[in-house]
Each structure stands twice: as C-alpha cells, then as structure tokens.
C-alpha cells in the first residue's frame, strides 16, 4: 500500500514545500508574531520535520513532544484560530505545488490529530 | 555488540539502538528533535571507526566528507568513537608573523600554520590561548593570494580573555595553537552569474572580505554588493582597500554605512546596514546572501532576505558561534 507520504511525493515534496510554506507563515498576520524571536536556521529544520510529519512521513514525535514543544506558545495565546491558520497555509502551499485536493484533505486530517496536543488541551 | 566511545567512556550499545539512544541512556546530553534523520539537530562526528552510510543520509557532501553523521539514525555495526563537532577539532601550531592595526579596536593577525591548513575563505578557526580558553575567528585571507598565510581580524572586547591577550601581549615571532577550519560561510564556485549580497557589521567584515576576494579573483561575473556597517566612519576599516577593489572590478560595489551620523562624510551612507541593503534589494530571488557580525542583525537579516525571495539554502551565516556573536571578538 502506498502511504500518504509517498503519494504526496516524499522528501522531494517536503523540500519543495518548506520554503513556500515558511514564507507564507512568516507573512501571515494572524500567526507571524509567534515566530518573531525564533532562530530561522533552527526553525527551518523544524519546519521540515513538521511538514514530514504532516504529510505522513517518518517521525517519532509523541503527543508529549507536541505538548512540550508548544507550551510556551500556548502561554502566549496560541489557540484554535492559529492552528487553523497554519493548516490553511499548508493547504495553500500544497495547492501551489499541484497536489490533488483529496490528498490535501488527508494531510489536513492528519494535522487535525495533533490539535489537542499542540494546543495543550 | 558495538561499543560507542564518547568522552573517554565506552558504552555498550544494545541491539538496534541508535548512537543517540545509547548516549542518552548513559546520561550524555545530545541535542535532538525529530529522531528520524530529518532535522539534523543531533549531528556528531565519528573520530575512530566507521558508521553505516545510512547514518549520513541527507548530509551535505562537505559534512559527510568530514565524517559527520546523524546520531538518531546511526546504528553502528562496529566499535566507534564519536564526538560533538566542535570537540573533535584537529589542532595545529601556527607562527605569528605580524599584528597590524586596522582601526582603533581591530587588529589583523597574520599567521603561518606549520602544516598546510585546508580552508575556504570565510570559514573560521578556533584559536587557543593556552589549554583551556579559545575563541572562533573567521578567515579573511585567500589561499590563492596569501599562499600559506592566514589572516584573522580581532576586535578588542572589554575584559576579553583572548582578544585582550592578542591585542596586548601576543607578539610577532611567537606561536599559537589553532584548529582546522569549520563552517559553511564561504564562496561556492559554479554559479558565476549569481548576485552576491554581503552584509556585515564591525569585524564581521573578516569573512566577507575573504569571500569577496575569493569570488572576484575566481572571475565571478554577477553583481557583488558589500554593505559594511558601524556606528560611525571610525568603526569601519579596510575602506581604501575595498574602494580600490571596486575600481578594479566593475561588478563589485562597496557601500559603507554609518548608523549614528545623519550627515556622514562623503562616500558613506547613513543608516543601519540591513535597512540600507534591504531597501536597495527588495527582490532577492536567485541571490546568495551572506550575513556576518552582530547576532541581532544576522538573525533579522536571515528573515528579511528570505522574505525578499532568497532561498533558505542560499543564505549563509556562521552557524554555531559562541554567545559573543561574530567570529572575531
């Protein structure tokens, strides 16, 4: 069975998506303040890890990692609307890369499974 | 089972265990994030033995050639000795040939390593003061032009253990220990038409100077733009050399910027180096960008260059510098 990650295009797709996605996020007025004081070089690696995860690729992030990794942002007001904005930016990125809508829906559904942990609920 | 040596200890790795898991289980703290060979946070270096090729997947060729590997996906099948990247540096002895003043705060040290140092201009070395104390310094020299001599720029820091020693005690004729060269911040041949934007403050000029000399003398054809900033004109240096270079190479432009002088002397542009440069280069798609010096400027510059269209892989700055910031202090 072909995995979602393979269907989307694997590591090559992640590499193509990471810059488009990250530019969208940094320009997105709804969420850019959360990235104001991050080190871009480190953040780029994290964005790549995030996209790999979101597209169903190999990762070992646990729910607990997600909670710990975002707790400082939750403290700064990270909520559902910001989560939605990120998923939307990701969808727009994949659309730009001509990924079929049904796969984009699958990616969004996979992101959805992390919502509670990311938002510390 | 394979043994993993680190820091003078040997650890028995269990079946299927990664270097990261084995070291962590024994209390060695290894930075890590994705645990899947993606984020490269856990990059280490193998100093004895060999790691499986899979442990280097996704690394830049230059890193793989230096025996770097990713601890999270490395499951060794033979005994290996590993180290963190900045612990595993080879040392060599170098003679101090000359220490000359570049401005009131900064000197240039000309060194001649006793064994040949293989480096790219813009990379940095560690310079040791005795056994325990060391600092990173970027290389402003070019092997093609300066042969076996290497040049570093050293800014006198208040209470600087190494910079104070270099400025006040070290003399020509003495010898020091340096490390092999490190870092990705250098000229990459192969794209002679590409635009190069270089932004630096203070002694962050050192790597940029090496990169510019390297690019121009290799026949780089694309635009080369250097924005060098300081509070006032007295904080800048190598001004005449850079002006002469821009006369000799029409594709090179030198824009000295001063931030605290609204009406600077002729030839100097008022403003912060990043503001001046980004206003003149609103579209950086296809450009390669170099940032050196003040850590806030470097961090802000990375973001602004990226948002102006420069690709992440085309933005270079010294990656793992100590808290002091630029590799020259």
pLDDT in tens, B134-179: 888 999 999 999 999 999 999 998 888 899 999 999 999 999 999 9
Question: Pick from B114, B145, B179: which residue ends a domain?
Answer: B179
Q: Report the predicted TM-score, pTM, of the whole model to 2 decimal places.
A: 0.82
Assess if CATH 1.10.490.10 describes domain A4-118.
Answer: yes
| Residue A20 contacts residue B307 (beta carbons within 8 Å) | no
DSSP state of B266: T
Q: Which of residues 280-309 of B touch A (CB under 8 A)?
A: 299, 302-303, 306-307
Question: What are A79-92's pLDDT values in tens digits?
Answer: 999 999 999 999 99
Question: Pick from B30, B57, B83: which residue ends a domain?
Answer: B83
Taking contacts as CB-CB distances below 8 angstroms, the residues of chain B near A33 are none
Count of Cβ atoms closer than 10 Å to residue B298 Cβ: 26
Q: Return the HEC string of B259-307.
A: CCCCCCCCCCEECCHHHHHHHHCCCCCCCEEEEECCHHHHHHHHHHHHH
The CA distance from A18 to the nearest CA of chain B, in Å, is 9
| Residue B272 contacts residue B256 (beta carbons within 8 Å) | no
Q: What is the pLDDT of residue B322?
A: 44
Question: What is the predicted ipTM?
Answer: 0.82
Radius of gyration of chain B (CA): 21
Question: What are B26-42's pLDDT values in tens digits?
Answer: 989 888 877 778 777 88
State how far the Cα of B117 lies from the Cα of B134, in Å rounded to an integer: 18
Q: What is the pLDDT of residue B9?
A: 92
Measured between CA atoms, the residue of chain A closest to residue B40 is: A45
CB contact under 8 A, A27 and B307: yes
Range of the domain at B36: 3-83
Question: Pick from B27, B52, B83: which residue ends a domain?
Answer: B83
Q: What is the pLDDT of residue B325?
A: 47
| A21 and B CB contact within 8 Å | no
Domain membership of residue B38 (yes or no) is yes
The dihedral of CA B260, B266, B268, B272: what is its sign?
positive
Q: Is residue B111 domain-shared with residue B202, that is, in the same domain? A: no
| B194 and A CB contact within 8 Å | no
Task: Pick B306's closest partner by Cβ from A40, A57, A61.
Answer: A40
The CA distance from B39 to the nearest CA of chain A, in Å, is 5
Choice among A39-48, A65-74, B151-160 with the minimum mean pLDDT: A39-48
Q: Is residue B156 domain-shared with residue B108, that is, in the same domain? A: yes
Count of Cβ atoms closer than 10 Å to residue A7 Cβ: 16
Task: Pick B36's closest partner by Cβ from A18, A27, A58.
Answer: A58
Q: What is the pLDDT of residue B32?
A: 80
Q: Which residue has the higher pLDDT, B87 or B258?
A: B258
| Residue B249 contacts residue B216 (beta carbons within 8 Å) | yes
β-pair partners for B111: B96, B150
Q: What is the pLDDT of residue B99?
A: 98
Q: Annotate B94-141 with DSSP letters as a single string.
A: EEEEEEEESSSSEEEEEEEESS-----TT-EEEEEETTTEEEEEE---
| Range B282-291 average pLDDT | 96
State how far the Cα of A104 lies from the Cα of A92, in Å rounded to an integer: 9
Count of Cβ atoms closer than 10 Å to residue B256 Cβ: 24
Q: What is the pLDDT of residue B109?
A: 98
Q: Which residue has the higher pLDDT, B93 or B60?
A: B93
| B41 and A CB contact within 8 Å | yes
Most confident of A56-70, A107-121, B124-138: A107-121
Domain membership of residue B189 (yes or no) is no
Q: Is residue B34 domain-shared with residue B102, that is, in the same domain? A: no
Taking contacts as CB-CB distances below 8 angstroms, the residues of chain A near B317 are 41
CB contact under 8 A, B302 and A41: yes
Domain membership of residue B39 (yes or no) is yes
Q: What is the pLDDT of residue B309?
A: 94
State how far the Cα of B207 lies from the Cα of B237, in Å rounded to an integer: 14
Domain membership of residue B326 (yes or no) is no
The CA distance from A81 to the nearest CA of chain B, in Å, is 23
Q: How confident is the model at residue B285 (pLDDT cuts 50, 70, 90)?
A: very high
Split into its structural domains, chain B has a count of 3
| Residue B252 contacts residue B117 (beta carbons within 8 Å) | no
Q: How confident is the model at residue B296 (pLDDT cuts 50, 70, 90)?
A: confident
| Range A27-33 average pLDDT | 94
Q: Is residue B209 domain-shared with residue B290, that is, in the same domain? A: yes
- Work out the percent of chain B whose per-residue pLDDT is above 70: 96
Taking contacts as CB-CB distances below 8 angstroms, the residues of chain A near B38 are 45, 48-49, 52, 57-59
The number of residues making up chain A comes to: 121
Domain membership of residue B321 (yes or no) is no
Question: Helix B273-280 and helix B295-307: axis angle, to 10°?
Answer: 10
Question: What are B214-224's pLDDT values in tens digits?
Answer: 999 999 999 99
| B25 and A CB contact within 8 Å | no
Q: In chain A, where are the structural domains located?
A: 4-118
- How does the average pLDDT of chain A come out, rounded? 88
């Amino acid at each position: 069975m072909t995995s979602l990650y393979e269907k989307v295009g694997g590591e090559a797709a992640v590499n193509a998506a990471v810059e488009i996605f990250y530019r969208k996020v940094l320009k997105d007025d709804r969420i850019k303040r959360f990235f104001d004081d991050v080190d871009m070089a480190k953040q780029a690696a994290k964005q790549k890890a995030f996209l790999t995860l979101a597209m169903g690729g190999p990762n070992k992030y646990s729910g607990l990692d997600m909670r710990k990794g975002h707790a400082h942002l939750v403290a700064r007001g990270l909520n559902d609307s910001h989560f939605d904005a990120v998923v939307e930016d990701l969808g727009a990125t994949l659309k730009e890369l001509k990924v079929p809508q049904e796969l984009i829906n699958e990616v969004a559904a996979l992101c959805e499974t992390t919502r509670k942990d990311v938002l510390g609920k | 089972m394979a043994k993993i040596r680190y820091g003078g200890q040997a650890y028995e790795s269990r079946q299927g265990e990664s270097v990261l898991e084995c070291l962590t289980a024994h209390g060695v703290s290894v930075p890590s994030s994705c645990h899947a060979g993606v984020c490269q946070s856990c990059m280490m270096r193998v100093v004895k033995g060999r790691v499986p090729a899979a442990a280097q997947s996704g690394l830049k060729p230059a890193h793989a050639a230096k025996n770097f590997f990713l601890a999270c996906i490395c499951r060794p099948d033979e005994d290996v000795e590993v180290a963190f990247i900045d612990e595993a540096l080879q040392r060599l002895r170098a003679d101090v040939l000359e220490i000359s003043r570049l401005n009131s705060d900064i000197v240039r040290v000309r060194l001649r390593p006793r064994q040949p140092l293989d480096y790219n201009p813009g990379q940095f070395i560690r310079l040791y003061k005795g056994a325990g104390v060391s600092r990173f310094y970027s290389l402003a020299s070019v092997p093609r032009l300066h042969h076996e001599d290497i040049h570093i720029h050293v800014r006198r820091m208040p209470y600087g253990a190494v910079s104070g020693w270099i400025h006040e005690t070290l003399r020509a004729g003495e010898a020091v220990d340096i490390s092999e060269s490190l870092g990705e911040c250098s000229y990459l041949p192969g794209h002679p038409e590409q635009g190069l934007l270089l932004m630096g403050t203070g002694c962050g000029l050192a790597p940029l100077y090496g990169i510019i000399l390297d690019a121009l003398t290799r026949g780089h054809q694309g635009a080369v733009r250097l924005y060098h900033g300081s509070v006032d004109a007295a904080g800048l240096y190598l001004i005449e050399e850079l002006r002469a270079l821009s006369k000799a190479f029409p594709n090179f432009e030198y824009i000295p910027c001063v931030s605290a002088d609204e009406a600077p002397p002729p030839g100097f542009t008022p403003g912060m180096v990043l503001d001046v440069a980004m206003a003149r280069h609103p579209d950086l798609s296809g450009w390669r960008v170099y940032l050196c010096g003040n850590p806030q400027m470097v961090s802000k510059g990375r973001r602004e260059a990226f948002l102006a269209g420069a690709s992440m892989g085309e933005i270079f700055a010294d990656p793992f510098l100590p808290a002091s910031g630029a590799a020259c202090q």
